[in-house]
Structure 1
């Protein structure tokens, strides 16, 4: 009889593979741990990109979390469907995305939606369209604090943009957004030094805005790698996302964060092409494949296999001669990057007390729900 671990599924014969499975009890424990790591739940604005389903969003709301962050209109709409009180679309919408965003605001009036901008032209466009629709769109200025992906420099140009936006009709300027996704050093001391460097610049900007006679702008900042550092500061909102499921990459990189693995991939051995090789039904279409082969998936009950190759539907690993694995054996895989992995699956199968209990539909993995 196979030894039972926390992840073992007793009725796994009912589950076709590859499959994404989630353990609700562990999800709840991760939410509790997140709350424990910060002084005020009101400072939490978790990103929903990892899970993409209503069920986890509702669990967070049940835990007292009222603010959320997302990256797509579909993710924002899913939160509107959940009656989430406050949702930031962490994206600068351009037409037709802007028109969809306006429609979102009109369709879900009980949710306070906001978005990002990093230039005056985009602000003017939002102002014009919002004014035509008799709306006031909530805006955060997106700051480039080193990732060099989006945003405006917090040192030189941001204050002028803030002043310009404050004068525009159809815009309600709320604050500043700073994402530091480029900071992922394993050493928390180094991470802390890098966070403090950009944080000081953003606080200086905040004070300059205050000195210019404007209301104090709110600050939304960070992701999972820098969450413990930013959580220890005051007067800003934190936006971790991966914590809810966790993954192999963050498990290895950020040892000071003790979130539980709450989602896995279940796969099966489908062939034994050579005496040392196993072929598993876990190809590019089953697990995030942006990393090198060795950093895509780690099998909890086959930790020593070495990945040799991967194609669309197959993963070939070297298990060594005399390995003892058989066709049909079930493997439990931990993705290195869970967020894009979840997007490959229509649903996550729920596992409670080592048995299948249902499914959570990942409706926000699509580009469009209704809007």
Structure 2
């Protein structure tokens, strides 16, 4: 039987997000093998948003995590994650919420990003007022051009400001290079190394000016596309020698579930799809058309129509229209399909697809066995 088929699929209401825990475990093992040690990983939890998936990562020896929202940070703390980086600059009410989070979960070491002196000063005032000294990473713009400060004099000045300001303490650099998505591995590596060289140079400059040993300044780098490049980086020891235990922490996120977009774009990576959307035919249209129950509310719709879902058992299904609850597809095999037939789809972008579901149904040994709640899809848990 095909790996994805569910023997008791008649018990599954659709549309549904389903996960395969054994495949998730294999993806986690593959990520650790690529870095050589769980200590090298700081996976982003934005993809799965799940306490259950977090527990699998903790059980595999991963102790450092990255997240994008206060809710994701709280989910990690609830599960006992020792070290959590909020990869965001908490502005306005978020700074106060972050301070509350730190006070509520003292067993977790929390940190966040800064990329602007005014924001850093405001955050520090909030944290100091709460009696906290929060570790911060300088968010460095290496070409993504979304957030971050350019590597150079202004970044050095921001580091010095943070070092001198009560309420925050700079501990490292954060460099997300999500804009590098070349299918050619050599070109992707070249661009990644070119951007990272600027980050390493900045680390050395800060060390020279601030009197900090550069080797002790952690760099959190990359996402899924450049993960294999950063995974191979070696450390710089205090004596200048290269050592295996690098202070470069890799932060992929999609690897746990993987998806069609990254699978097609980066076939050099060993991960396998571990989350699918399951849909049923709900209506037969004219000779070559079917309507499935997979609308905008059930699959990430930011890509153009042909790049939202790929059906494993219907690779010739061509989406031609979608609305909130419906997906119309065209296929020469429509006459052989019946209302109620099941199709198994790999999302092109799994992260925002997961956020559309409050839970993922688990499938083990080919059968529906339970569910994982995606609790961090909510913006607020308790704080």
TM-score band by shorter chain is over 0.9
Out of 104, 108, 112, the residue aligned to residue 109 of structure 2 is 112
Give the structure 1 partner of residue 356 of structure 2. 344
Question: CA separation in 1, counterparts of 2:260 and 2:270?
Answer: 12
Distance 2:292 2:55 in 1: 35
Cα RMSD, aligned residues only: 0.9
Change (3 A) 1:49 1:321: closer
8 Å contact from structure 1 (residues 272, 279) kept in 2: yes
Q: How does 1:327-366 map to 2 (within 5 A)?
A: 327-366=339-378
Picking from 106, 127, 144, the partner of 2:124 is: 127
CA deviation vs aligned residue, 1:297-316 (integer Å, no higher than 9, x gap): 00000001111111110000
Indicate conservation of the 8 Å contact 2:258/2:272, yes or no: yes
Deviation at 1:173, TM superposition (A): 1.1
Whether the 8 Å contact between 1:275 and 1:321 is mirrored in structure 2 is no
CA deviation map 1:179-232 (0-9, x unaligned): 001011111111111011111111110001111112432100000000000101
Q: Is the 1:283–1:315 Cα contact (8 Å) retained in structure 2? A: yes
- Aligned residues between the structures: 368
State the distance in 1 between where 2:213 and 2:352 align.
Answer: 38
Structure 1 equivalent of residue 284 of structure 2: 272
Tell me the residue number matched to 1:225.
225
For residue 214 of structure 1, what is the aligned residue in structure 2? 212
Moved over 2 A (4+): none
Which residue of the partner structure matches residue 240 of structure 2? none
Preserved CA contact (<8 Å) 2:289 2:334: no
1:333 and 1:210 map into 2 onto residues whose CA distance is: 50
Confirm or deny: 8 A CA contact 2:290 2:334 kept in the other structure: no
| Matched-pair contact (CA < 8 Å) for 1:263–1:334 | yes
Equivalent position to 1:243, from 251, 255, 273: 255
TM superposition shift of 1:41: 1.6
Instruction: For 2:60 and 2:36, locate their aligned partners in 1 and report how far apart those are by CA, in whole Å.
Output: 14
SS of 2:35's partner is: coil
3-state SS in 1 of match to 2:153: coil
For 1:39 and 1:335, locate their aligned partners in 2 and report how far apart those are by CA, in whole Å.
Answer: 29
The corresponding residue for 1:26 is 23
* Per-residue CA distance 1:273-310 (angstroms, 9 max, x = gap): 11100100000000000001110000000001111111
1:142-153 correspondence to structure 2 within 5 Å: 142-153=139-150
Counterpart of 2:322 (choices 302, 310, 333) is: 310
2-side partners of 1:258 and 1:43: how far apart?
A: 18
Aligned equivalent of 1:261: 273
How far is the alpha carbon of 1:155 from its aligned partner? 2.6
Give secondary structure in 2 for the equivalent of 1:49. Answer: coil
Instruction: Give the one of 158, 179, 184 matched to 2:176.
Output: 179
SS in 2 for 1:157: helix
Distance of 2:229 and 2:333 partners within structure 1: 47
Distance 1:247 1:115 in 2: 28
Of 38, 41, 48, the residue aligned with 2:38 is: 41
| Per-residue deviation, 1:5 | 1.0
* Alpha-carbon offset, residue 323 of structure 1: 4.0
- 1:127 alignment partner, SS class: helix
Which consecutive unaligned segments of at least 5 residues does structure 1 have?
A: none
The answer to whether the 8 A contact 2:360-2:374 is kept is yes
Q: How far apart are 1:322 and its partner, in Å?
A: 5.8
Matches of residues 129-168 of structure 1 in structure 2 within 5 Å? 129-168=126-165
Matched, 1:84 2:81: yes
Normalised by the length of structure 2, the TM-score is 0.95
Q: Distance in 1 between matches of 2:127 and 2:328?
A: 53
| Cα distance in 2, alignment partners of residues 339 and 325 from structure 1 | 30
Contact preservation (8 Å) 1:45, 1:239: yes
Q: 1:240-297 CA deviation, whole Å, 9 max, x = no partner?
A: 0000000000110001102111000010000011110010000000000000111000
Q: Equivalent residue for 1:60?
A: 57
- The corresponding residue for 2:239 is none
- Displacement after TM superposition at 1:157 (Å): 1.4
